[in-house]
Structure 1
Amino acid sequence: MGAGGSAPTLPNLATGEAAPLYERVKRHMSEAILVGEWPPGMVLPSETALAQGFGIAVGTVRRAMSDLVAEGLLTRRRKTGTVVTGRTPHHSLRFFFQYFRLHRADGLLVRSTSQFLSVEALPATQAQSETLQIKGGGVIAIHRIRHVDDRPVMHDRLVMAQERLPDLPLDTAQLPALLYLHLLERYGIRISAVREQITADLASDEDIALLQLDGRQAVLTIDEVAYDQAGVPTILGWHRATTAAHTYVNEVR
């Protein structure tokens, strides 16, 4: 609808996931806007039509849309309706599912894609058990590369308590591309805070191979602990990135 576009295709969101329903609606709508599926100037269908498309109550859609208006992604116009603004939000944890913290040199957000190299179920070390507050069992360890414009820019190692993710696939081909979003929708785990330690290091042989570097140049290293909505340490992360064409930005509001 509007701005030369057609009515959006809407998934049925009424069943099957742990995250609050309005959060899933908001997430779907913000993703559609941020990746350009709903372009600037597009006039959205009415709240009633959206609710019917999503298979949910009008009040749930209204709450999600009100949040997106407050965040600047949508605006309400008299006689026209609700319109996509085209504004690009600053990076924050709200958009961490699709976007990460390497920005272009001009400051614009970039969208990354993930390639999983390995996923393993391993015994937890004592340090991992203490930090992640593991009561029993081991950890799931993931190694992945992040690409921007088909070029590798960062590789990550992530460790999570297996007891909190009982059916997470141990096959790289089946891992969800948007891991944080999967944690929210499948397990009700919202990553709400991140504590980071940032340093520089000389590229290792692994960095050179994975990031396609020309020799032993400096790389950015980020060691982090990510916490869920209850303040429980949930993910241990180690990231190594080239900043030859990108700037690291972390803005939490």
Structure 2
Amino acid sequence: MTITQDGMDAVSRSLFMPVMFMLDFGMFQYLVPVYYPRRHERRVQMLLLASFIGFASHVYFEHDVETMLAFNDISEACAQLTFLIQITLIGHAVRAKVKLRSITWFTYAAEALILLDWVNMLASAVEAAGVDVGDGLHVFSNVLESVTLTFVPIFRFYYLSLSSSFRQVLSERKLEMLCYFLVATHEDVFIVLEHATGVSWEYAQGIYMRSTIVTCILLNLRQKARPGVAPSRRMATQSSASSASASSGFKEVAPRPAARVVVVTSVNKWISSAK
């Protein structure tokens, strides 16, 4: 059976777009109760606004293909923003208590990407309004998406490695790492499919991206809900891990041996509370 673009557009309208709406709305439902106590913070307001626009952009009655694609670009930019702002919130919480230069620079880079993602979302909204923005916007959007979704797992697993060795993070979070890798490389599979079939898989790709992002969030919840280690055992584990992580995670600060456990404990505490 030959796949045609008209057939793919019909399936996108009847199946793919409703599924994307459900995923984006489910993301919003998750974020509101989690971050409602912090709703007065500027970054939390941006997070909830981006998530709201992400699912609201699916609620329209225009059936023009170009308009559908423009609204889909808005939704994808908002999905990236929610993913990125969550990581930035944790980065600021860690940075406030543990003065590591690397965390500071990672956080500044995340803030810059947030600004660019907002610009990208607004440009997509202008395009959806019928203004011709040219092909440059689509190139910029694709590059920014790749950079953002690659930056997020790098930042996340870097600050997780500060509370324990990277080897321990790798052994305990293999599935989570796989899911973050799938998020970062979600376009590659569909580029191959588009090349093989000559048909755009934009909306199927959107479902895949949102599904992997939701999976990452659920894994975070599962990790947070796991029963903790006893305090004495946790302190012993942190003491033994501090010497192994001194050459990688704490080069820039180089704390005294007696202070390393305090630094690791602070990082661990604020990562857990910021989730």
Task: Report the TM range for the smaller structure's normalisation.
Answer: under 0.3
More strand by share: 1
TM-score (norm 2): 0.24
TM-score normalized by the length of structure 1:
0.25
The structure showing larger relative contact order (alpha-carbon pairs under 8 Å, at least 6 residues apart) is 2
Structure with higher helix content: 2
